Amino acid sequence: MSTHPAKPSMRDSLVAAAFQLFLERGYEQTTIDDIVKTAGVGRRSFFRYFPSKEDVVFPDHEQSLADMTEFLAASADTDDPLVRVCEATRLVMRMYAENPTFSVQRYRLTREVTGLRTYELSVVWRYEKTLGDYLRTRFADRRDGTLRANVVAAAVVAAHNHALRHWLRSGGEGDPLAEVDRALEFVRETWSPDAAAPAGADDDVVVVITKRSTPMWRVVREVESSLGES
């Protein structure tokens, strides 16, 4: 019995047609009409999958964001939130790694087209927001919870993007997951609860001004009152 390769979905055919034209003509010179004509479908079919021409350049990010959100929502209370967001970010790198040729082509295209760089930044912001929302929930009992969540989310995204850009600039050579693991390990070492913190970083500092003749019991009571323990 003979076997035949599966026919590409209409969505995949539109993406393939778009990138063929982008490489041949340039992004700005390619219209949606050009794309649907090359793919052999109608305009209505294009807009069924992609709201705009920019979206066809980033066809996988909506699913990747959904996968990340679902992964974080499935976290247990006992999961280390820092480890969890690093694992969630690995999902994004895995998406890029599944098709190195396409990922490198997209990277080169976004470097050439200002509008695509702006669009890409909005996608990155959505990933960072997803991580930050999860961390703010997990750090809600900390005085610095919001600040810590925002900074850690930004650090995780920055580490991921550092590894991703290094891999893409190399033409997709090497193991991108190993690259991102090294970058994320740096974040974990920096922000892990076990990381060394400056002495007294989490301690309250109370200054009590009193006369030299004040009894010690009164000084102690002043301190306790300042700490809200009286």
Token output for 220: 């102690």
Least confident stretch, 18-32, 45-59, 98-112, 183-197: 183-197
Kindly give, in sequence order, each residue whose CB lies less than 8 Å from that of residue 31, ignoring residues fewer than 6 positions away.
53
pTM: 0.77
Same fold, 8-57 and 60-191: no
In the predicted model, what is the mean pLDDT of the chain? 86
* CB hemisphere CA count around 156 (13 angstroms): 31
pLDDT band at 218 (very low <50, low <70, confident <90, very high): low
Within 10 Å of residue 160's Cβ, how many Cβ atoms? 26
Q: Please state which architecture CATH assigns to domain 8-57.
A: Orthogonal Bundle (1.10)
Q: How far is CA 220 from CA 2, 102, 184, 229, in A?
A: 88, 68, 46, 11
> What's the pLDDT at 198?
47
| 116-136 core/surface letters (b: 16 or more CB in 10 A; e: else) | beebbeebbebbbebbbebbb
Q: Enumerate the H helices of 139-199 as residue ranges.
A: 145-169, 176-191
> What's the pLDDT at 168?
96
Q: Give backbone dihedrals phi and psi of 121, rounded to 5 degrees, phi first.
A: -60, -35
How far is it, in rounded angstroms, from Cα 153 to Cα 159? 10
Judge whether residue 196 has pLDDT over 60: no
CATH 1.10.357.10, applies to 60-191: yes
The domain segmentation of the chain, as residue ranges, is 8-57, 60-191
